[in-house]
């Protein structure tokens, strides 16, 4: 027999976006169900697990050592010919999380705030009555359940089926995604207080190779490349390991994933369905980081879900689309524009830029003052001698 449930809000997906929405809405006293198809929320991970330190305070998440693998003080960037640019802060700037614990704890905070949480619950379809979506059909531990909700939240990641089933246009061509491949492995010889990034068109077309340390001799070692590349991300990652004489027989995990790097959804809410996180492609297209963006979007979405419930007016959900596009959509569109300009850099340009910047005040770069950085580059003779480089840099200004 099919079990029937009823909630004010049903959140599909307990990655990052889902639990943030579930927690925020449950805190306001509404009934919320958070479901995930995974038997253990958080596992397997599909992530390099790096995030800025600011998220803990900003999104009211405890700074809990149970999900913090390592504190990070900056980054080292490597050019194709081996020029290095190090940006090191005196204070902790980011952390490498343990997502298997982090995601589960975010769901735990949602549960503690009053939400119900059901793992091993896969949503398969929406339920429509008189043409309107009134809930979702799922399987909980293999048994059918019908979950009715006034508002349905699609936080079901990059392959989101819920948004599509709700009639939201989620199509994007393959070049708007990156393919990622990652080993969690034993590796040494890298400063474990920094994240390490390698750029180059033969190293990682459109993307980069990363080493995100979890221990002195353990790290997430991965790569992201354009999805429409004829060669695979694994091919490039294995090639990089071989060329750098890094032994690859101590692989603790292998993670494969797709990262949306553009084409943000225009319509984030339709009738009573709201889309957040990777499902809405709310990811920074420059570096592929999506956790902070999922938290930001989740926070805006929760605000409007609560307002819509308070005022019994689902039309208010549209304000989530408007506010996100005004605050974050515009910013990410600009980042996408910059990414497209950076894509045009050849290996020689990358060498020159990283060489020039490694000789400048790293503090300026660390502050994230890109206009200053570009001005520094524009003054250098190796840049001034090339009309191409000047025009590329001007595109970035």
Footprint of ligand FAD (CB under 6 A): 12-18, 35-38, 46-51, 122-123, 155-157, 161, 180, 182, 222, 255, 257, 259, 277-279, 283, 288-292, 294
Cβ 253 to ligand FAD shortest distance, Å:
11
Cβ 309 to ligand FAD shortest distance, Å:
22
Nearer to ligand FAD, 27 or 104 (CB): 104
Nearer to ligand FAD, 37 or 218 (CB): 37
Nearer to ligand FAD, 96 or 377 (CB): 96
Closest CA relative to residue 288, chosen from 386, 212, 231: 212
Nearer to ligand FAD, 265 or 291 (CB): 291
Nearer to ligand FAD, 153 or 357 (CB): 153
Spatial separation of the C-alpha atoms in residues 13 and 31, rounded to whole Å = 17
| Cβ-contact 87, 362 below 8 angstroms | yes
Closest CA relative to residue 253, chosen from 219, 230, 285: 219
Cβ 321 to ligand FAD shortest distance, Å:
17
Nearer to ligand FAD, 38 or 318 (CB): 38
Spatial separation of the C-alpha atoms in residues 178 and 233, rounded to whole Å = 9
**Residue 375 neighbours by CB under 8 Å, 6+ apart:** none
Cβ 8 to ligand FAD shortest distance, Å:
19
With residues binned 3-state (H G I as helix, E B as strand, rest as coil), the percentages for the chain, rounded to 5, are 35, 30, 35
| Cβ-contact 290, 284 below 8 angstroms | yes
Cβ 29 to ligand FAD shortest distance, Å:
24
Cβ 151 to ligand FAD shortest distance, Å:
16
Q: Is 134 exposed, middle or buried (0-12, 13-18, 19+ CB in 10 A)?
A: middle
Cβ 54 to ligand FAD shortest distance, Å:
12
User: For the residues of 363-385, what is the DSSP string, one character each?
Assistant: HHHHTT-HHHHHHHHHHSHHHHT
Nearer to ligand FAD, 54 or 391 (CB): 54
From the CB of residue 395, how many other CB atoms can be counted at a distance below 10 Å?
14
């Amino acid at each position: 027999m099919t079990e029937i449930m009823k909630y004010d809000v049903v959140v599909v997906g307990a990655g990052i976006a889902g639990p943030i929405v579930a927690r925020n809405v449950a805190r306001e006293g509404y009934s919320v169900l958070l479901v995930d198809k995974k038997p253990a929320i958080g596992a397997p991970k599909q992530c390099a697990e790096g995030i800025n330190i600011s998220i803990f305070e900003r999104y009211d998440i405890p700074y809990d050592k149970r999900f913090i693998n390592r504190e990070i003080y900056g980054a080292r960037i490597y050019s194709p010919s081996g020029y290095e640019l190090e940006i090191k802060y005196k204070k902790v700037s980011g952390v490498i999380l343990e997502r298997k614990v982090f995601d589960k704890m975010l769901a735990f905070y949602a549960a503690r705030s009053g939400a119900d949480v059901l793992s091993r619950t896969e949503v398969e379809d929406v339920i429509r009555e008189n043409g309107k979506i009134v809930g979702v059909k799922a399987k909980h531990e293999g048994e059918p359940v019908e979950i009715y909700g006034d508002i349905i939240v699609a936080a079901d990641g990059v392959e989101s089926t819920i948004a599509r089933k709700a009639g939201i246009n989620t199509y994007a061509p393959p070049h708007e995604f990156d393919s990622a491949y990652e080993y969690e492995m034993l590796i040494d010889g890298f400063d474990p207080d920094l994240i390490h990034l390698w750029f180059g068109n033969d190293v990682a077309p459109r993307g980069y190779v990363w080493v995100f340390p979890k221990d002195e001799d353990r790290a997430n070692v991965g790569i992201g490349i354009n999805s429409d590349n004829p060669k695979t991300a694994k091919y490039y990652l294995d090639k990089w390991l071989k060329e750098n004489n890094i032994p690859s027989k101590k692989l603790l995990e292998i993670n494969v994933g797709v990262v949306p790097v553009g084409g943000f959804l225009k319509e984030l809410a339709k009738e009573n369905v709201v889309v957040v996180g990777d499902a809405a492609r709310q990811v920074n297209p420059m570096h592929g980081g999506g956790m902070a963006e999922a938290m930001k979007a989740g926070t805006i979405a929760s605000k409007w879900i609560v307002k819509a419930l308070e005022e019994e007016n689902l039309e208010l959900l549209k304000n989530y689309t408007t506010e996100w596009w005004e605050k974050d959509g515009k910013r990410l569109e600009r980042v996408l524009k910059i990414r497209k300009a950076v894509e045009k850099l050849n290996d020689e340009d990358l060498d020159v830029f990283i060489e020039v910047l490694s000789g400048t005040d790293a503090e300026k770069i660390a502050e994230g003052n890109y206009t200053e950085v570009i001005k520094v580059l524009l003054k250098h003779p190796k840049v001034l001698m090339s009309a191409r480089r000047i025009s590329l840099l001007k595109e970035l200004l």
